[in-house]
């Protein structure tokens, strides 16, 4: 290892004194000015990971839905998946190391992971549109170069595009061409094929307003537009030409505030959607004729997609295992609809995309979406082969056509990670094929009223949970108290879980009315405050 080069470059990317960061589900995220040394060191780590896996590794410079002043970085593993847990720990250790410790930490990783130092290393780099991203991606390049790795800088791309291209590269382009053009061609071809059967009577059916969060999604949708069939008419808003990234707009803003973004006028019953800053989340919404706002979130997206796939599977006669994977935050009505009406098995995991993705891999077809609109569909290799074979060889017309539609659905979905562009095209295709308006889709089931609160505590580690975070194990007596409170209300449930990033406990409740959901959430918050070391003023009733 060329420690001289590592030290030389390292001196140009010094760590601010006293700064400590943690690599989490979203990688590293903080103020952009604190990240130069982290980017350089993640370039070093990506080279080691590439040598260890004998594969191309991705490095994405983005802070997703965070404010424009922030930035972040995440590494992408060989099949486009998120970085494995052991290497997350290495990332944290390396980012927080003092200058003189870098050499020994790199050596230790190489020994632990049997990294061959002369192995060829390849890193794909992408970035979002933040003002700080270009300079920070240059710091990543310095890290890759210091250890003699090769890199391809894709420049401005969405996070899911980088995941996609890493997967393409490492499957010898079996998954697709490792270029942005290849991505557009694959998706647009699948979308065109899938929507061929859609009735052409509802011309306005395929008209969509998109809030691009003043981020990378706008640039990439403009590039994609020329590949799309004319029947899909998209209108872009918050395209980054006037306002700041994620400011009063984007999927996270719409979901949290339950209202339309700034800069997008909605006429009654117009179908709209919002991307987040790096285009890996999507939520839909509309205003009804009375001017009331309706959010169609990740739960309803999962329901729409899984119902569509299940219906096609029945037509093919294939007996493939299929499940929807949710977290405890999924609305109870969605779980009930899937299990009782659609007869689709539902599994619950801990919060975090990594847990959902991992669980979804256990089935022939696994659909997962968080309520915030991040999600995708995974098809096992065996399921994909069966479907593709049937689309080609099946003699019976109806079965063959259904298999072809499933095949195009597979090609339209970005299986590596949640992808707002791909998910949007899947949703638009399904709505067109089923002849559904956004209101009809929304009316599949009615969400139970719910409330989310947080309680400040001295130490969040006091709370330990089990059963996919739905039940508290510690502190003693807390779960018993929650069970008592839940019994007071109809169709109710509640759970608490510690935040992954700050000393707060998150409280979630559902009940038959909003008033009861609010009241239950408040009472559970008080129980947390008294039994789990709450600090500051006790929680106040919700007005």
Rounded-to-integer distance, Cα 204 and Cα 63, Å? 35
Rounded-to-integer distance, Cα 483 and Cα 515, Å? 19
What is the pLDDT, as a whole number, of residue 425? Answer: 98
Q: Is the pLDDT of residue 198 over 80?
A: no
499 is known to lie in a ligand binding site: yes
What is the pLDDT, as a whole number, of residue 296? Answer: 97
Rounded-to-integer distance, Cα 284 and Cα 210, Å? 9
Q: Is the pLDDT of residue 62 over 90?
A: yes
pLDDT, tens digit (0-9, with 9 covering 90-100), for 327-375 = 999 999 999 999 999 999 999 999 988 899 999 999 999 999 999 999 9
pTM for this model (two decimals) = 0.93
Rounded-to-integer distance, Cα 447 and Cα 490, Å? 15
Q: Is the pLDDT of residue 4 over 90?
A: no
Using only C-alpha atoms, the chain has a radius of gyration, in whole angstroms, of: 24
Range of lowest pLDDT (27-41, 195-209, 249-263, 457-471): 195-209
Give percent above pLDDT 70 in the chain. Answer: 99
509 is known to lie in a ligand binding site: no
500 is known to lie in a ligand binding site: yes
What is the pLDDT, as a whole number, of residue 138? Answer: 98
Instruction: Check 10, 50, 64, 306 and give the catalytic one.
Output: 64
Q: Are the C-beta atoms of 170 and 56 separated by less than 8 Å?
A: yes
pLDDT, tens digit (0-9, with 9 covering 90-100), for 88-106 = 999 999 999 999 999 999 9
pLDDT, tens digit (0-9, with 9 covering 90-100), for 454-513 = 999 999 899 999 999 999 999 999 999 999 999 999 999 999 999 876 789 999 999 999
Beta-carbon count within 10 A of 111 CB: 9
Q: Is the pLDDT of residue 203 over 70?
A: no
104 is catalytic: no
What is the pLDDT, as a whole number, of residue 179? Answer: 97
What is the pLDDT, as a whole number, of residue 200? Answer: 56
493 is known to lie in a ligand binding site: no
- Banded model confidence at residue 205, pLDDT cuts 50, 70, 90: low
What is the pLDDT, as a whole number, of residue 494? Answer: 97
394 is known to lie in a ligand binding site: no
What is the pLDDT, as a whole number, of residue 492? Answer: 96
State the angle between helix axes of 159-170 and 180-194 in degrees (0 to 180), rounded to the nearest 10. Answer: 100
Q: What is the DSSP string of 378-426?
A: EE-HHHHHHHHHHHHH--SHHHHHHHHHHHHHHHHS-TTS--HHHHHHH
How does the average pLDDT of the chain come out, rounded?
A: 94
What is the pLDDT, as a whole number, of residue 320? Answer: 96
Give the chain's length: 543
């Amino acid at each position: 290892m060329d420690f001289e080069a590592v030290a030389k470059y390292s001196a140009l990317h010094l760590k601010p004194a006293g700064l400590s960061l943690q690599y989490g589900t979203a990688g590293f995220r903080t103020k952009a000015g604190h990240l130069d040394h982290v980017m350089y060191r993640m370039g070093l780590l990506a080279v080691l990971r590439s040598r260890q896996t004998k594969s191309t590794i991705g490095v994405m410079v983005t802070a997703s839905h965070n404010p424009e002043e922030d930035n972040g970085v995440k590494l992408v593993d060989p099949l486009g998946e998120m970085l494995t847990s052991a290497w997350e720990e290495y990332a944290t250790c390396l980012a927080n190391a003092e200058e003189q410790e870098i050499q020994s930490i790199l050596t230790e990783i190489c020994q632990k992971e049997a990294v061959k130092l002369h192995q060829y290393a390849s890193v794909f780099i992408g970035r979002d549109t933040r003002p700080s991203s270009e300079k920070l991606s240059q710091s990543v390049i310095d890290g890759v170069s210091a250890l003699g790795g090769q890199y391809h800088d894709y420049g401005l791309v969405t996070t899911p595009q980088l995941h996609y291209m890493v997967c393409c590269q490492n499957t010898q382009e079996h998954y697709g061409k490792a270029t942005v053009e290849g991505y557009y061609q694959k998706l647009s071809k699948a979308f065109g094929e899938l929507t061929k059967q859609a009735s052409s009577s509802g011309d306005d059916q395929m008209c969509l307003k998109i809030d691009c969060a003043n981020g990378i999604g706008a640039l990439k949708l403009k590039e994609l537009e020329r590949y799309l069939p004319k029947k899909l008419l998209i209108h872009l808003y918050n395209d980054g030409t006037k306002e700041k990234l994620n400011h009063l707009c984007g999927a996270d803003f719409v979901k949290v505030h339950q209202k339309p973004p700034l800069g997008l006028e909605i006429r009654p019953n117009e179908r709209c959607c919002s991307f987040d800053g790096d285009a890996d989340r999507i939520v839909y919404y509309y205003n009804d004729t009375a001017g009331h706002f309706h959010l169609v979130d990740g739960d309803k997206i999962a329901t729409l997609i899984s119902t569509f796939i299940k219906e096609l599977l029945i037509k093919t006669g294939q007996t493939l295992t299929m499940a929807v994977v949710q977290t405890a935050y999924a609305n109870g009505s969605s779980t009930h609809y899937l299990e009782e009406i659609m007869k689709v098995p539902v599994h619950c995991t801990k919060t975090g995309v990594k847990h959902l993705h991992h669980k979804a891999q256990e089935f022939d077809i696994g659909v997962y979406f968080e309520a915030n609109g991040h999600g995708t569909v995974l098809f096992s290799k065996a399921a994909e082969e069966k479907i593709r074979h049937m689309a080609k060889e099946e003699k019976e017309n109806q079965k063959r056509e259904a298999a072809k539609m499933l095949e195009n659905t597979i090609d339209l979905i970005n299986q590596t990670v949640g992808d707002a562009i791909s998910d949007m095209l899947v949703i638009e295709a399904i709505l067109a094929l089923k002849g559904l308006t956004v209101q009809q889709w929304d009316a599949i089931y009615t969400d139970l009223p719910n409330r989310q609160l947080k309680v400040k505590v001295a130490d969040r580690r006091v709370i330990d949970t089990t059963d996919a975070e739905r039940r508290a194990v510690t502190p003693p007596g807390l779960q018993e108290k929650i069970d008592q409170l839940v019994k007071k209300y109809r169709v109710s449930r509640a759970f608490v879980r510690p935040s992954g990033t700050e000393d707060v406990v998150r409280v979630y409740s559902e009940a038959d009315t909003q008033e009861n959901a609010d009241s239950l959430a408040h009472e559970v918050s008080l129980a947390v405050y008294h039994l789990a070391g709450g600090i500051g003023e006790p929680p106040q009733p919700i007005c």
